[in-house]
Structure 1
Amino acid sequence: MKKTIRIGTRDSELALWQANTVKSKLEALGYTTQLVPVKSEGDLVLDKPLYEMGITGIFTKTLDVAMIKGTVDIAVHSMKDVPTQLPNGIVQTAVLARASSEDILVTKNVIDFEKPCTIATGSLRRQAQWLNRYPHHKVVDLRGNVNTRLQKLSDNDWQGAIFAKAGLQRLGYVSEAHIISPSFGGVGEALDWMLPAPAQGAMVIVALENDDFSKDATSKLNDPASEICTHIEREFLRTLEGGCTAPIGSFAEIIEDKVLLKGCLFSLDGKEKLEIEKAVDKTDYLHFGKECALQILKNGGSELMAQIKSQINK
């Protein structure tokens, strides 16, 4: 175990929390590690919606390049930010035990949802699901790390903003009771009706395919149940999107000897909704996500994806 495993990470507070978690776990196993923080393009450009920037890999490609160049050995990511197709020569080595997959609405005051409201989010998926449920509301774009987004919510006259619950929990902003840190002065409400992004709440480790030492070390942190569920969700996403950003949600969970998948595809304005809920034996999970996505595509999804692509590419 003489080799020092250099851990590549974005330099946001949340990314560093994740990388330090992996660092601690590896060191507990006897490995020597070093953090190597970098800035991604997604962190540097905050004045454009993600879908206008070619979202695929916007938060991960800087670390991919660093790994290929040999300046880092592994990278730790929020799995929902990772493209479903990894670059040649880079492989997934571990999915850590998953945290909460829920989205959470952070508000400054009690909201009357019957009245017109302005809700902030940088996610097409959250935007579409929110407008489907509250078509009389307005959704505005919100970019930046967790602290930046909380500050923007505080500084603007929006009624609320949507976050991943896992990120807020990891930074100590929210408890199981959904109370946001007093330093912010807001409260949180879990959105249990909103389907999360595929692999939301999961952390993934990637390494070079030919780096057996790093692959072996990090594979010891893999959680099999989280690996199965995120595989299904990401396969559902990959089959639907075809390289295009779209409002897609999915969540898989293991219930006894079955795996249940809930998936959805929305139009950008939230008016059209296609969804599926299906279970399969756990032993048959490998192509389950693809099968569910193909069913969505067959039932109007192909036309809806073509519409979304034309709207985004305008």
Structure 2
Amino acid sequence: MSITIGTRGSKLALAQTSTVCKKLEALGIEVKTVIINTLGDTSTQVPLHEIGGQGVFVRALDDAILAGTIDCAVHSMKDIPAYRPSGLFTSAILKRDSAADYLAHNGSISRVRIIGTSSTRRRAQLLRHDPDISIKDLRGNVDTRLRKLNAGDYDGIMLAEAGLTRLGLRVPGERFPAEKFVPSPNQGTIAVVSRADPSLMEVLSAIDHPQTRTDVMYERAVMEKLGGGCFTPLGIYCRSGHLIAEVLSLDGQQTERIEADLKTIDEARELGRQLHGRAKGLIDEAYRKLGISNER
């Protein structure tokens, strides 16, 4: 069987796709890759919430799958929106790498006063930790972000530790514990999305990691009940069924947090409903301040 895999063209996306290709080739499956540009790749000067949030990195690849141009696509699973087009299926979720955030910086951490990130979650969590630091918007691929750090535009920049690992980069800095700086839902996870073709889904399922799938599906169930996507500062992290979820105000000074051991997807949904009820004011406030409609 031959499979055509779509991918974004960044170094990180290609590294992740290479991991998937090697796993499939080890099973005797022939693969070829096609690079597809997404809106998220071409609009790097605009905050994500102004161009559509998570979906900007996946829509073009979704369209290519549905059009039959490619059979499947490789994504950082945190980029995949909660609500998906009909006819698509997440056929494989690889074993999770580190879910932690990483603060890259040069010199002493005590001298880090200006930090680059465009994530509302990371901004809020950093301000909760230290309200006196300054946060400046920063988008672009990992190389671009590191170049701006080394040029002195920022004292530190926020990255996903998993991305650095996949690129084979060793960068001075600090790993943030996921229990305190709760990551984005599904951070550190690679997913393969395909058309809902049983034979294709069966082949791809061979590289699926069941425990990771369970954990990230719990995270997504909570995310779906919370709403907000990448607009609201929210972190959701599950490890071996133990889930932590929090919603923050944009300035990080208010937090609603919930923690529980889960055994079913229904329990995850109920946890999400409970947190939404407690955090609705923070979610609505974030949408209002960002100038985004909160109709669901």
Alignment match, 2:102: 104
Aligned to 2:122: 126
Match for residue 245 of structure 1?
231
In structure 2, how many angstroms separate the alpha carbons of the residues matched to 1:157 and 1:44? 22
1:203-218 alignment to 2 at 5 Å? 203-209=190-196, 211-218=197-204
Please say if residues 95 and 221 of structure 1, whose CA atoms lie closer than 8 Å, have aligned partners that are also in contact. Answer: yes
1:245–1:123 Cα change, 3 Å: same
Q: CA offsets per residue over residues 101-130 of structure 1, 9 Å max, x none?
A: 0001000111216xx711111211101100
Cα pair 2:119 2:230 within 8 Å, conserved: no
- 8 Å contact from structure 2 (residues 94, 191) kept in 1: yes
Moved more, 148-157 or 221-230: 148-157
- 8 A Cα contact 1:244 1:309, kept in partner: no
User: What residue is the counterpart of 2:242 in the other structure?
Assistant: 260
Partner of residue 202, structure 1: 189
Alignment gaps of 5+ in structure 1: 175-179, 181-186
Q: How far apart are the structure 2 equivalents of 1:158 and 1:67? A: 39
Q: Which runs of 5+ in 2 are unaligned?
A: none
1-structure distance, mates of 2:267, 2:50: 31
**2:289 matches 1:306:** no
SS in 1 for 2:188: coil
The offset of 1:289, in angstroms, is: 2.4
Identity of aligned residues (%): 37
Partner of 1:43: 41
SS of the equivalent of 2:211 reads helix
CA contact (8 A) 1:79 1:202 kept: yes
Normalising by structure 1, we get a TM-score of 0.89
- The answer to whether the aligner puts 1:270 opposite 2:252 as a matched pair is yes
Q: Relative to structure 2, which stretch is displaced further, 101-110 or 153-162?
A: 153-162
CA shift at 1:242, angstroms? 5.2
Alignment partner, residue 168 of structure 1 = 164
Alignment match, 1:76: 74
Change (3 A) 1:285 1:87: same
4+ residue runs of structure 1 moved beyond 3 angstroms? none
Q: C-alpha distance in 1, partners of 2:21/2:52?
A: 31
User: Relative to 1, partners in 2 of residues 1:245 and 1:298: Cα closer, same or farther, differing over 3 Å?
Assistant: same
* In structure 1, C-alpha distance between the alignment counterparts of 2:82 and 2:142, rounded to whole Å: 24
- Tell me, yes or no, if the aligned pair for 2:81 and 2:229 is still in contact at 8 Å: no
Q: 1:294 aligns with which of 261, 266, 273?
A: 273
Relative to the length of structure 2, the TM-score reads 0.94
Which of the two has greater helix per residue? Answer: 2
Question: The residue matched to 1:199 in structure 2 has which SS?
Answer: coil
Superposition RMSD on alpha carbons, in Å? 1.4
Aligned length: 290
